[in-house]
Amino acid sequence: MLSCGTLSAQIRQEIAIPDLKDYQTLKCDFHLHTVFSDGTVWPTVRVDEAYREGLDAIALTEHIEYRPHRQDIQASHNRSFEIAKKAAQNRNIILIPGSEITRSMPPGHSNALFISDADSLDRPEYRDAFAAAKRQNAFIFWNHPGWEAQQPDTTLWWDEHTELWKNGCLQGIEVVNANTYSPEAHQWCLDKKLTLLGNSDSHQPMQSDIDFSHGEHRPMTLVFVKERSAEGIREALLHRRTAVYFGENLIGEEAYLKELFENALQIRTVHQTDQSVTLTIFNRSDLVFHLEKTEHDPHLIYFRTCTLKPHSQQTLTIHLESGVRSNEVNFEVTNLWIAPHRGLPYTLKI
């Protein structure tokens, strides 16, 4: 009735990851469950969590074919979206309609986003389910391709995936699902021009999986949009403008990661003498950057490894020995992955 409402007393912790020059960076989780499939929370909890954790968009992707709570809950597959919609509006969270087509391997599990009627995906044949999603103009991606329950020892691409891909029913892959990274999926995205995704696939209250008190965050997909809306997200997903934020790592195309790296950093002072150049660099983001020296003029003497901590200022000194010819301080940012386990190469000109 009256009272001072504790429900809305929740604190939103913004995620400091910079925008790109032409795009806004949205933080998204496109794979979540609630009591309406095999999760353990009411749909509104997912909105509250997203608000608190600084996310911009989520999708509740209930399993079409797996509903272990059906003895207590029978409902349309659209129901969890309906319940969460108002809460999402109040919190300014973009709620993307979606569902998980849940099949044995091949083709395994896939999420269809932007669908208008989840019930129409409830079909005996998986091809019919994908076709129904496609008719609704869905964006469809393959979930956790390396899930050991379906691919025990090796992560395989099956003929069925080729077929789905050719039919426009496999537009992206989860290179990160929960706490697992798949290098195979990463390589496939590069080779076949698929969209990179990283999602939590959370079933429990988020705090059961993620230790926020130790600074952990859920895995998420960064989407580089022209406008902050569901339509803006769809457009960006179709054009593969994403990166995955996973632990300390970013996974994405070189151009995007490079721009994120540069926009996160601010060079505050430069002090140059004949013998050395000293820079103070401020990292204004939540990201950490691990630098590792690569090939360079041996007369430039600088760090072997260097860590740029979040929201911290760092002093870098580069010594110039006599005989120096190059002005290129070369290193790799080892936690920004442009290919499986390959860091972002970078050259700082001094």
| Positions that interact with a copy of itself (CB under 8 A) | 1-12, 35-36, 39-42, 44-45, 48, 69, 72-73, 75, 79, 83, 146, 148-149, 152-153, 178-180, 204-205, 207-209, 212-215, 280, 291, 293, 298, 301-319
β-partners of residue 220 are: 245
The smaller minimum CB distance to a copy of itself, of residues 19 and 209, is found at 209
The smaller minimum CB distance to a copy of itself, of residues 7 and 22, is found at 7
The smaller minimum CB distance to a copy of itself, of residues 137 and 317, is found at 317
CA angle 290, 291, 295 (to 5 degrees): 155
Residue 8: both structure tokens together: 């809305």
Tell me how far, at minimum, the Cβ of 115 lies from a copy of itself, in Å.
Answer: 20
Tell me how far, at minimum, the Cβ of 35 lies from a copy of itself, in Å.
Answer: 6
Neighbours of 194 (CB within 10 A): 19
Tell me how far, at minimum, the Cβ of 6 lies from a copy of itself, in Å.
Answer: 7
Give the phi and the psi of residue 288 in degrees, each rounded to 5: -100, 150
Tell me how far, at minimum, the Cβ of 203 lies from a copy of itself, in Å.
Answer: 8
CB 201 within 8 A of CB 143: yes
Tell me how far, at minimum, the Cβ of 281 lies from a copy of itself, in Å.
Answer: 9
The smaller minimum CB distance to a copy of itself, of residues 167 and 204, is found at 204
| Spatial CB neighbours of 170, under 8 Å, sequence gap ≥ 6 | 107, 110, 140, 141, 142, 161, 164, 194
Q: Which of 259, 248, 254 shows the shortest CA–CA distance to 176?
A: 248
Alpha-carbon torsion angle 137, 93, 221, 197, nearest 10: -30
Query: DSSP string covering 196-226, please?
Result: EEEE--B-S-HHHHS-GGGT----EEEEEES
The smaller minimum CB distance to a copy of itself, of residues 317 and 347, is found at 317
In 232-258, which positions are buried (b, 16+ CB within 10 angstroms) versus exposed (e)? bbbebbeebbbbbbbeebbbbbeebbb
Give the phi and the psi of residue 193 in degrees, each rounded to 5: 60, 55
Tell me how far, at minimum, the Cβ of 331 lies from a copy of itself, in Å.
Answer: 10
The smaller minimum CB distance to a copy of itself, of residues 41 and 57, is found at 41
The smaller minimum CB distance to a copy of itself, of residues 186 and 234, is found at 186
Residue 53: both structure tokens together: 């954790």
Tell me how far, at minimum, the Cβ of 168 lies from a copy of itself, in Å.
Answer: 30
